[in-house]
């Protein structure tokens, strides 16, 4: 994936642009006229307290939930995302916190689930799974992403939570997605395992992948995000580059839901 040139970035339409998105559950406004966009090669952190509407917003992108109001445009073209399959077809891959992997089968089977490689036998009379190539591709993918997995043929349940999360992310990356969404990828992980996942996200960022990251961990956000978007009870609080906030300010805005003026770097230094 090519990195954008500083000049061209402005003119190119964002990968995803959501406008005026509302979603009500009964009387609860899970989302209230929210605007959200992700540019090429951008890592956007989506923040907010419990119930802020983060998951609802990304579920709309993932095709798991339909918005009541608002539009979604991909590469500047307005689209309908009616199902997970449509979302995938539009180049959006979602990594859920759980339910991402089949524990009982090995890494290649998980990575190639639903898109198995096959090879013909007897001149195409039979088609066998090309296990060799799937294993090679898996090793290449994990190597590219610097994911360290000794034995890709062990059932996935044998791996640590951090390794499993990196496998789930690698699976999304292999799809050649335009946008990868991760809902709390480091939640429920130990410190070392969080580090594993974070450095993977850093690698992806360096490769120019566009990522939406939901996280409750401010250190993670400050470390890997280019931009932060904060929601509070379904409303947009702020949307600004990470360079314009610090950790304390993020926490205050998440809790209060009141936007604060951007930090002036010069003043700080």
Ligand X SMILES: Nc1ncnc2c1ncn2[C@@H]1O[C@H](COP(=O)(O)OP(=O)(O)OP(=O)(O)O)[C@@H](O)[C@H]1O
Q: Rule CB under 6 A: which residues touch ligand X?
A: 25, 28, 30, 48, 50-56
Give whichever of 65 and 263 is closer to ligand X, judged by the CB atom: 65
Phi-psi region of 245 (alpha: psi -120 to 50; beta: other; left: phi over 0): beta
Give the end-to-end CA distance of the chain in Å, rounded to a whole number. 35
Secondary structure of residue 47 in the 3-state scheme: strand
Contact 82, 248 (CB under 8 A): no
Give whichever of 18 and 142 is closer to Mg ion, judged by the CB atom: 18
Q: What is the helix (H) or strand (E) element at residue 35, kind and residue range?
A: strand 28-38
Question: Please, what is the minimum distance in Å from the beta carbon of residue 123 to ligand X?
Answer: 52
Question: Please, what is the minimum distance in Å from the beta carbon of residue 64 to ligand X?
Answer: 10
In angstroms, rounded to a whole number, what is the distance separating the alpha carbons of residues 99 and 267? 46
Given ligand X, other proteins, Mg ion, none, residue 150, with its beta carbon under 5 to 8 Å by kind, binds other proteins
Residue 157 contacts other proteins per CB under 8 A: yes
Residue 115 contacts other proteins per CB under 8 A: yes
Taking CB atoms, the residue at the shortest distance from Mg ion is 55
Give whichever of 13 and 51 is closer to ligand X, judged by the CB atom: 51
The set of residues, in sequence order, having a beta carbon less than 8 Å from that of 263 and lying 6+ positions away, is 243, 244, 245, 246, 249
The residue among 114, 118, 120, 54 whose CA lies nearest residue 85 is 114
**Residue 17 half-sphere exposure toward CB, CA atoms < 13 A:** 11
In the list 19, 24, 37, 139, the residue contacting other proteins (rule: CB under 8 A) is 139
In the list 55, 109, 163, 194, the residue contacting Mg ion (rule: CB under 5 A) is 55
Given other proteins, ligand X, Mg ion, none, residue 88, with its beta carbon under 5 to 8 Å by kind, binds other proteins
Given Mg ion, ligand X, other proteins, none, residue 116, with its beta carbon under 5 to 8 Å by kind, binds other proteins
In the list 12, 28, 102, 206, the residue contacting other proteins (rule: CB under 8 A) is 102
In the complex, which residues of this chain contact Mg ion (CB under 5 A)? 55
């Amino acid at each position: 994936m090519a990195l954008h040139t500083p000049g061209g970035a402005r003119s190119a339409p964002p990968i995803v642009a959501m406008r005026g998105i509302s979603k009500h559950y009964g009387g609860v406004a899970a989302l209230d006229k929210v605007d959200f966009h992700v540019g090429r090669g951008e890592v956007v952190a989506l923040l907010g307290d419990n119930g802020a509407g983060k998951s609802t917003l990304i579920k709309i992108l993932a095709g798991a939930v339909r918005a009541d109001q608002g539009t979604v445009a991909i590469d500047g073209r307005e689209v309908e995302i009616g199902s997970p399959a449509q979302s995938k077809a539009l180049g959006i891959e979602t990594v859920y916190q759980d339910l991402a992997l089949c524990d009982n089968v090995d890494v290649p089977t998980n990575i190639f689930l639903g898109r198995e490689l096959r090879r013909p036998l007897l001149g195409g009379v039979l088609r066998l799974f090309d296990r060799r190539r799937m294993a090679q591709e898996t090793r290449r993918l994990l190597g590219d992403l610097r994911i360290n997995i000794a034995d890709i043929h062990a059932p996935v349940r044998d791996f640590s939570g951090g390794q499993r999360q990196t496998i789930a992310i690698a699976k999304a990356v292999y799809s050649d997605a335009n946008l990868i969404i991760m809902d709390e990828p480091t939640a429920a992980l130990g410190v070392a395992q969080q580090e594993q996942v974070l450095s993977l996200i850093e690698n992806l960022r360096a490769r120019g992948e566009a990522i939406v990251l939901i996280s409750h961990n401010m250190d993670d956000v400050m470390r890997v995000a280019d931009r932060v978007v904060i929601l509070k009870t379904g409303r947009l609080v702020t949307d600004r580059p990470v360079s314009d906030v610090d950790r304390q300010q993020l926490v205050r805005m998440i809790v209060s839901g009141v936007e604060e003026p951007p930090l002036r770097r010069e003043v700080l230094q």
